[in-house]
Amino acid sequence: MSGSRPYDLLVVGGGINGAGIARDAAGRGLRVLLVEQEDLASHTSSASTKLIHGGLRYLEYYEFRLVRESLAERERLLESAPHIIWPLRFLLPHEASLRPAWMIRLGLFLYDHLGGRRRLPASAGVDLTKDPMGDALKPEFRRGFVYSDCWVEDSRLVVLNAMDAAERGAEIETRTRCVAARRESGLWRATVQDRRTGARRDVTARILVDAAGPWVTSFLEREVGLPARHSIRLVKGSHIVVPRLHEGAHAYILQNRDRRIVFAIPYEQRFTLIGTTDAPFEGEPGRVAISPAETDYLCEVASRHFRKAVQPADVVWSYAGVRPLYDDAAKSASAVTRDYVLDLEAPEGEAPLLAVFGGKITTYRRLAEHALEKLARFCPALEPAWTERAPLPGGDIPDADFERFLAGFQTRHRWMPSAMARRYARAYGTRADRVVGDAGSLAGLGPLLGGDLYEREVDYLRTAEWAESVEDVLWRRSKLGLHLGSDAVPRLEACFARAGDSIRMHNTGRQRSG
């Protein structure tokens, strides 16, 4: 694959930061190789609360720079991928014993004005005794505040960045681990291993980027043999999914007595997503799972607010992830900064090393720009920054008007059930027609694997989006695992087998309940 010519960048890690850096660099004319030891977005980047947001609660910790940058990025990302990112209205029920109304109003005023809000409606107060938003809440909640942020299909955001990087010339290799890297003659010489076959090969690169997320320090110390100059705090965030708790498209942000907040968000049409927790984590980041205590905590917070009590037995699915937060010596896990630090280590005459500490999904694009700014002096042919107004694959929807785009897609494919057409349009945007191909009927999409999943869609995910396993399809490229029966799994396995791929269910810390 690599030949004798060195890469400009070797990026280790296929989460949102690694994929974003690979995309930005490839679009600036650099020769890029990204290696990811599992699937894209296997861990932290698919275990978020699925929000593109400024971080309202960060204002309490005076993180004004982070909030401003996040709010500005929220607007940019909404325009770049309106199929997988869309506005979401949040209701915060007021409890005077936790935060006074003046503090919330001040926070929302700053939230409305810090980041140059253009597309989203402003915050407002609401009388919950009269507004339908209050119908699902207990009657003691009589007053609230509404504001806007955005929803994102987090794992698809990673995949779309990797797709764009590949289309601009980057090489993306999943199930491939960097097992060693050392400086040699002004370059990095790295050994990468295909985890499917065990085969190893050496590659060279001018710059090494460590975007390994929870493994950022362990990769430096074990595979590179260098001490980490910064440390991270591993913080576990867990979520539960229950049958839908309320009508309407809005979400809730719930204040708890420990001063943490928990979101309750409409999810996959029939469910509510509740999260997240903040718990210090020790151990192997790839083996993280929600604990019974975390499930009880999330159920208790939801039950204290909603008329309908939530019990652990109601949980239909749960997931947990480890956030690799930059260690700023904060006393509690909730208070640790969500900002990022880019550590450039470049001894005179030696190949540069850039390590990424911390960060959040919302600011990944700006993080990538900052990374390339730090590396610019080592890349004399580096082209200008370009991602600010560039759509992601499928995101080139005129005027970012998703509903009008959907109507056009449905007109072109009248034979497709409306719910299926909406799912295709949401998942693939303007590339949905590539998935459909020349099919003029459902039968033209090949064998039905379950629900509205047909073999042609799986073929697209295999060939265009690096899907190699049942879990890749059902839990990262989509959330069809919530909707399909267990009989879909052997059919999907057989589909991969027909394509000549080996199927292996990967344990990524997600648990099915019930």
Alpha-carbon dihedral angle through residues 58, 64, 69, 70, given to the nearest 10 degrees? 20
pLDDT, tens digit, 9 for 90 and up, residues 300-338: 999 999 999 999 999 999 999 999 988 877 666 666 777
The domain covering 399-512 belongs, at the CATH homologous superfamily level, to: Alpha-glycerophosphate oxidase, cap domain (1.10.8.870)
Token pair listed for 105 = 């109003």
| Residue whose entry in the numeric block shows the structure tokens 């991270």 | 232
DSSP state, 472?
I
Residue 338's pLDDT is what? 78
HEC string of 473-490 equals HHHHCCCHHHCCCCCHHH
HEC string of 199-252 equals CEEEEEEEEEEECCHHHHHHHHHHHHCCCCCCCEEEEEEEEEEEECCCCCCCEE
Determine what percent of the chain is predicted with pLDDT higher than 90. Answer: 84
How many angstroms separate the CA atoms of 16 and 85, rounded?
15
State the DSSP string of 82-138.
TTTEEEEEEEEE--TTTS-HHHHHHHHHHHHHTTT--SSPPPEEEETTTSGGGTTB-
Assign a CATH topology to domain 45-153+233-326: D-Amino Acid Oxidase; Chain A, domain 2 (3.30.9)
The CATH class of the 7-42+156-231+338-389 domain is alpha beta
How many angstroms separate the CA atoms of 172 and 163, rounded?
9
Contacts of range 133-137, beta carbons closer than 8 Å, 24 or more positions apart: 133/91, 133/248, 133/250, 134/91, 134/93, 135/246, 135/247, 136/245, 136/246, 136/247, 136/306, 136/307, 136/308, 137/93, 137/252, 137/305, 137/306, 137/307
State the DSSP string of 157-179.
HHHHHHHHHHHTT-EEESSEEEE
Cis ω on the peptide bond leading into residue 276 (within 30° of 0)? yes
Two domains, one topology: 7-42+156-231+338-389 and 399-512: no
Pairing of strands 32-35, 7-12: parallel
Taking alpha carbons only, the member of 174, 206, 211 closest to residue 192 is: 174
How many angstroms separate the CA atoms of 285 and 277, rounded?
16
pLDDT, tens digit, 9 for 90 and up, residues 366-421: 999 999 999 999 999 999 999 999 999 999 999 999 999 999 999 999 999 999 99
Residue 337's pLDDT is what? 76
Determine what percent of the chain is predicted with pLDDT higher than 70. Answer: 95
The better pLDDT of the pair 55, 271 is held by 271
Taking residues 132-151, report their average pLDDT. 96
Q: What is the CA radius of gyration of the chain?
A: 23
Taking residues 183-188, report their average pLDDT. 96
Taking alpha carbons only, the member of 239, 242, 237, 238 closest to residue 306 is: 242
Beta strands per DSSP E along 405-470 = 448-450, 453-454
How many angstroms separate the CA atoms of 289 and 397, rounded?
38
Taking residues 214-233, report their average pLDDT. 93
Chain mean pLDDT for the chain:
93
Do residues 67 and 54 make contact, with C-beta atoms less than 8 angstroms apart? yes
Taking residues 173-195, report their average pLDDT. 97
Residue 511's pLDDT is what? 37
Do residues 135 and 126 make contact, with C-beta atoms less than 8 angstroms apart? no
Work out the pLDDT band at 357, boundaries 50, 70, 90: very high
Token pair listed for 441 = 């009927």
Token pair listed for 290 = 């929600």
Domain locations in the chain as residue ranges: 7-42+156-231+338-389, 45-153+233-326, 399-512
Work out the pLDDT band at 87, boundaries 50, 70, 90: very high
Whole-Å CA distances, 318 to 280, 292, 300, 480 = 18, 11, 16, 14
* H helix count then E strand count, the chain: 13, 21
Single pTM value for the model:
0.94
Do residues 95 and 407 make contact, with C-beta atoms less than 8 angstroms apart? no
Residue 334's pLDDT is what? 64
Cross-strand partners of 454:
448
- SS3 call for 42: coil
Pairing of strands 32-35, 171-173: parallel
Q: Would you say the C-alpha torsion 337, 507, 300, 126 has a positive or negative sign?
A: positive
